Structure 1
């Protein structure tokens, strides 16, 4: 194949414009950066950005989707949450009516209720190509998510017990998402993404301690105690209860395996937790 032919093939496989919902979030921000680096026109949807997109306000979805060729769907708060199937059905109908031809959905690994939402989107989206990315816990939850305050305070309080989890790097998730958005190998499939090894939360805390040079220990709690703690921080009672129930289900051991999803989608091994921790420490994420 000549260079001109290769460039032409790459051009025909590159999507654009692309709507990225949650465009400022952990995965959305990285997807936006990678698409922009490829020269793909991007609409970074968020509640306060230039492209307005709010999962609680369906009235703005059509404007965000109109004219888009593809969309990355990162639903808040979780695809297993009440109302998620209805939201996915509505989004799918609007995307179909706007002529969006490729959808990539972020989902949870081992979440039966999330599968219901996946199927609602699939049924409503018509002929659009749907790729589902079922992800393990993000490693970045410790550096820019809900667990960051615990790391900074020296205690990771979480209802995981001694269950191991194959934490996945959000950079790997974003790479798989972008490959699917751009119509490369793996588009239209279901990808189950994990990191390369299992760690308990106590082991993750030890890895962070070594990388950050600060003592971090894991403190296990029960689901009800965790819900009460969230409520004490101002999380609505119903949401706190849902999150505690969700984590109890996800961390009952059924997800304590690693997959080859990243390697199958990208042709390379997933990033290890050790590399994530070293990079987070270098970037100052855990500075006091």
Structure 2
């Protein structure tokens, strides 16, 4: 099997200790955040699944609970991707309220996208795991696609990327295509109910090695620049980010790159039955797709 081929999730015994977990058809799945980096990949793997977003019909907005009921319909499983960050103020309350509504609406299962090594996300995770519904929590490592979609893409195009971490900080970046396949397995099959999965790539790369992998894929130099957290926060504010959000992101980055997330897990290979996609392979695919054209 090649590392790019999705042939469906592996079959697992039910971890809930019951016989009640069921398989759920794609048509009964709702993808909340279905136009985001992870959500659109989940939706693409589930033809017939419904997508909830602010631009959708009907629209869905986390900050407007009155928009929530219309998107649920007859959904039995829901993929939950919270905007900005799962640890952001109000996230746990929103997730708890949505889970309660989902339970009243006949939803059976929730699959929550969370972050790896983020104890401050505990309240948001508890809103789902304590909902009384079937649940799976996906704790993702840093997304490889952060370098090619939205977040760092413009910097990389100009030949560098900047983070408030040392060059020796190492991360086993997870490919969002892998994460989406795991999410589909959790949404549609019974075997991942009641599990917290930590999703990583097959190896950890330092920031220097990450820059080298990007440079090799793009065909021109890419450098990593380490800056002090305060300078990084100020830079985000200068780009127009609110001070609170800039401070939260800076805190998250400095915390999760302290070495706690460097170890690789076997959860992706266990679920998908193949090796996780490597960062270098991701970089080659993204470069071939035109993610980083030469700046004008």
**What is the TM-score normalised by the length of structure 2?**
0.88
**Contact between 2:24 and 2:76, CA under 8 Å: does it hold in 1?**
no
Partners of 1:149 and 1:160 in 2: CA distance: 19
Secondary structure, in 3 states, of the residue corresponding to 2:162?
strand
CA distance in structure 1 between the aligned counterparts of 2:181 and 2:151, rounded to whole angstroms: 23
Map of 1:223 onto structure 2: 229
Which has the larger helix fraction?
1
Matched, 1:179 2:185: yes
The equivalent position to 1:169 in structure 2, one of 168, 175, 184, is 175
Report how far residue 14 of structure 1 moved.
3.5
Tell which has more relative contact order, 1 or 2 (C-alpha 8 A, sep 6+).
Answer: 2
Where does residue 133 of structure 1 map in the other structure?
138
* Deviation larger for 167-176 or 145-154: 145-154
Corresponding position of 2:284? 278
May I ask how many residue pairs the two structures share in their alignment?
271
Answering whether residue 217 of structure 2 is matched by residue 211 of structure 1, we say yes
What corresponds to 1:17 in structure 2?
A: 28
Moved over 3 A (4+): none
1:258-277 to 2 correspondence within 5 Å?
A: 258-277=264-283
Name the residue aligned to 2:117: 110
Indicate yes or no: 2:37 matched with 1:32.
no
Displacement of 1:160 in angstroms is 2.1
> What SS does the corresponding residue of 1:26 show, helix, strand or coil?
coil
Q: Which of the numbers 142, 147, 157 marks the counterpart of 2:147?
A: 142
Which stretches in structure 1 are left out of the alignment for 5+ residues?
Answer: 1-11
How many angstroms apart in 2 are the aligned matches of 1:219 and 1:120?
Answer: 37
- Aligned to 1:199, which of 186, 199, 205? 205
Distance 1:58 1:23 in 2: 17
Asked if 2 retains the 8 angstrom alpha-carbon contact of 1:92 and 1:122, the reply is no
Deviates more, 1:135-144 or 1:156-165: 156-165
Change (3 A) 1:42 1:51: farther
Q: C-alpha displacement at 1:51, in angstroms? A: 3.9
